[in-house]
C-alpha cells in the first residue's frame, strides 16, 4: 500500500473504497514504472526509443544524465539501471538522496523555497554541462519541485528571491504566476538550461505537476522555449505589490532565450501527468459500481472554496474525480497544505453518505503528510472533542485539526509528482 495508514483510515466501506481508488491513482503515476514503460534501450544495437522516437547512442561522445525535482531520484535510478555504463556522468537534485554509483552524484535540496544549499548544488550540476559539444547528449529528468531545487538567481540574493516567493505564495498567486516570475529571476529556467546545454542534444523526460500539463511551467521549464516575457513577470510583481512588501527598491528581470537555435536539438517528452492518475481512478471507481465523472483535470482556485464546490457537485451513487492545484491565501499562522485546507473547507457541507479525499501525489502537502480524508464521522468526532473546524480553517491550521481527528493521509515521499487529486464519493 502506498497509503501507509490505509487500514486506520478505512473505518467505513465508503472510506475504504475512496482510499482504494486513490491507491490506483498513486500507482498510475509511479515514476519507475513510467520510465520502464516509455524508455526502451537495445543494448546490442545501442538504440534508445522514447515514445517511438529512436536515438543511436553510439553516435555520442558523452552521455550526461541530470535529474531535477521530486521524481528525479526515482527516475534516474531507473535510467541508470537501463543504460548502465553508457552514462558518462550525472547529477540529481531531489528532496532525498540515494546511491547512484560512482558516476552520478545525488543531493537532497530544500523545498519549497530557494536556498544557498540549492544554489551550491545547481552550480555543481551546471559544471557537468557547460562547454558540451554537438557530439554530446544530455538526458534530463524534469519534475515538480524543480523550481526551488534548481536555483541560480539573476542579480538577486537567494534570501531576497525566497522572500519574493513567500509573499506571492501567501497572497495566493497561481502556479502559472509563480513560475512566470521564477523564469525571469533565474539563469537556468525558462529554457535557459537548454541554452547552456547547446549545442549538445538534450532529451528531457518531463513529469508534469501543473494544471493543463503545460510543460513550459513544469519546474519553470528549464529546457522548454518560454512563451512568457519579463514584462509578464513585472506585471505580476506589481499586481501583488511584491517589491514594496519585501522592501526591495528594484528587482532586475532577465529575458528568457527566444532564439530557435537553442531548441532545435531539444526533445521534450511528457512521460507522466495527472490524466493517467484520473484514468486509473476512474477505472477503479467503475469496478466498485460507481458512475464516474471528472470534475476537472486542471482545477484551480481557492482550496477551501473548491472543497465545498466539489461536495455540492457530487451526485448520488457517483464518484467525482479531479486533478490540479488549488491555492491558499494565508491569513492565519497555522500548519497545513492546500489539500488539507480543501478537505477542511468541505467539512461543514459534507453529507452522511459522502466522503472526500484530497491528496498530493508527491506525498508532501506542505507538511509531512499527503492530505486528509473527511466524512460525517469527522464532523461527529470534532463535535465530541469540542473542536470548531472554522477556527482551524481561519487560522490555516488544517494539519492540527486532522491530526486530532486521525484523518491525515500518510504516504511518505512517493518519488512521484503529478499534481494534486481528489476522490469524492456519494452513495
**DSSP letter string, 234-278:** HHHHHHTTHHHHHT-S----PPPP--GGGGTTEEEEEEE-HHHHH
- Distances in Å between the alpha carbon of 380 and those of 121, 184, 383, 387, 406? 49, 49, 5, 10, 13
Q: What is the pLDDT of residue 211?
A: 86
Distance from C-alpha of 330 to C-alpha of 233, rounded to nearest angstrom: 22
The helix/strand/coil state of 143 is strand
* pLDDT above 70: percentage of residues in the chain: 100
Q: Which residue ranges does the chain devote to CATH 3.40.50.10180? A: 31-272
Backbone region of residue 172 per phi and psi (left: phi > 0; alpha: psi in -120 to 50; beta: other values): left
Four-way CATH pick for 6-28+275-426: 3.30.530.20, 3.50.50.60, 3.40.1480.10, 3.10.290.10: 3.40.1480.10
- Name which of 55, 210, 63, 52 is nearest 140 in CA terms: 63
Mean pLDDT of all residues belonging to the chain:
97
Residues of the chain with CATH 3.40.1480.10: 6-28+275-426
pLDDT value at residue 284: 98
Report the C-alpha gap between 366 and 360 in whole angstroms: 9
Q: What span, in angstroms and rounded, lies between the C-alpha atoms of 105 and 206?
A: 20
Residue 79 is predicted with a pLDDT of: 98
Contact 420, 338 (CB under 8 A): yes
Q: Which helix (H) or strand (E) holds 423?
A: strand 420-426
Q: How far apart are CA 130 and CA 123, in angstroms?
A: 10
Q: What is the model's pLDDT at position 104?
A: 98
Strand order in the sheet with 137-143: 104-108, 89-94, 63-68, 137-143, 201-207, 266-272
pLDDT at 376: 98
SS3 content of the chain, % helix, strand, coil (to 5): 40, 20, 35
Residue 254 grid cell: 532577465
On whether the CB atoms of residues 236 and 180 are closer than 8 A, the answer is: yes
Dihedrals phi, psi of 408, to nearest 5 degrees: -80, 145
**What's the pLDDT at 253?**
98
Could you report the average pLDDT of every consecutive run of 10 residues in the chain (427 residues)? 97 98 98 96 97 97 98 98 96 97 97 97 98 98 98 97 97 95 98 98 97 95 98 98 96 98 98 97 98 96 98 97 96 97 98 97 97 98 98 98 98 95 97
For the record, the C-alpha cell of 425 comes out as 464519493
- Measured CA to CA, the distance from residue 285 to residue 17 in angstroms comes to 8
Distance from first CA to last CA of the chain, Å, rounded? 25
Q: How far apart are CA 397 and CA 202, in angstroms?
A: 43
Cis preceding linkage at 112, omega within 30:
yes
Write down the pTM of the prediction.
Answer: 0.93
C-alpha cell, 84: 548502465
Length of the chain: 427
Domain 31-272 has CATH 3.30.360.10: no
Q: Which of 46, 87, 93, 52 lies closest to 73 in space, CA to CA? A: 93
Amino acid at each position: 500500500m502506498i497509503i501507509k495508514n490505509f487500514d486506520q483510515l478505512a473505518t467505513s466501506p465508503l472510506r475504504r473504497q475512496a482510499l482504494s481508488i486513490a491507491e490506483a491513482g498513486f500507482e498510475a503515476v509511479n515514476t519507475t514504472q513510467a520510465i520502464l514503460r516509455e524508455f526502451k534501450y537495445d543494448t546490442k544495437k545501442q538504440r534508445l526509443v522514447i515514445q517511438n522516437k529512436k536515438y543511436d547512442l553510439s553516435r555520442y561522445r558523452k552521455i550526461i544524465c541530470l535529474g531535477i525535482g521530486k521524481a528525479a531520484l526515482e527516475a534516474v535510478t531507473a535510467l541508470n539501471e537501463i543504460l548502465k555504463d553508457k552514462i558518462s556522468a550525472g547529477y540529481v537534485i531531489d528532496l532525498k538522496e540515494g546511491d547512484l554509483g560512482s558516476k552520478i552524484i545525488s543531493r537532497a535540496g530544500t523545498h519549497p523555497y530557494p536556498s544557498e544549499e540549492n544554489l551550491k548544488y545547481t552550480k555543481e550540476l551546471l559544471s557537468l554541462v557547460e562547454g558540451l559539444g554537438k557530439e554530446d547528449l544530455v538526458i534530463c529528468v524534469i519534475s515538480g519541485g524543480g523550481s526551488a531545487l534548481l536555483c541560480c538567481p539573476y542579480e538577486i540574493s537567494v534570501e531576497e528571491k525566497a522572500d519574493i516567493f513567500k509573499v506571492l505564495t501567501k497572497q495566493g498567486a497561481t502556479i502559472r504566476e509563480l513560475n512566470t516570475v521564477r523564469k525571469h529571476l533565474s539563469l537556468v529556467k525558462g529554457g535557459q538550461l537548454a541554452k547552456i546545454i547547446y549545442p549538445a542534444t538534450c532529451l528531457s523526460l518531463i513529469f508534469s505537476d501543473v494544471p493543463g500539463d503545460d510543460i513550459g511551467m513544469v519546474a519553470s521549464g528549464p529546457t522548454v522555449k518560454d512563451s512568457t516575457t519579463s514584462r509578464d513577470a513585472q506585471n505580476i510583481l506589481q499586481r501583488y505589490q511584491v517589491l514594496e512588501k519585501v522592501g526591495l527598491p528594484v528587482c532586475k528581470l532577465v529575458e528568457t532565450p527566444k532564439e530557435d537555435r537553442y531548441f532545435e536539438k531539444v526533445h521534450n517528452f511528457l512521460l507522466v501527468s495527472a490524466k493517467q492518475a484520473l484514468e486509473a481512478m476512474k477505472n477503479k471507481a467503475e469496478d466498485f459500481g460507481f458512475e464516474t465523472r471528472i470534475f476537472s483535470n486542471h482545477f484551480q482556485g481557492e482550496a477551501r472554496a473548491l472543497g465545498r464546490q466539489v461536495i455540492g457537485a457530487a451526485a448520488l451513487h457517483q464518484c467525482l474525480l479531479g486533478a490540479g492545484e488549488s491555492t491558499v491565501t494565508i491569513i492565519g499562522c497555522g500548519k497545513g497544505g492546500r489539500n488539507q485546507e480543501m478537505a477542511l473547507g468541505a467539512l461543514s457541507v459534507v453529507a452522511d453518505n459522502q466522503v472526500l479525499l484530497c491528496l498530493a501525489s508527491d506525498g508532501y502537502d506542505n507538511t509531512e503528510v499527503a492530505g486528509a480524508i473527511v466524512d460525517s464521522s469527522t464532523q461527529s468526532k470534532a463535535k465530541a472533542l469540542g473542536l470548531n473546524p472554522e477556527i482551524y480553517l481561519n487560522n490555516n491550521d488544517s494539519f492540527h485539526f486532522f491530526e486530532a481527528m486521525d484523518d491525515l493521509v500518510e504516504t511518505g515521499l512517493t518519488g512521484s509528482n503529478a499534481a494534486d487529486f481528489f476522490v469524492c464519493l456519494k452513495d
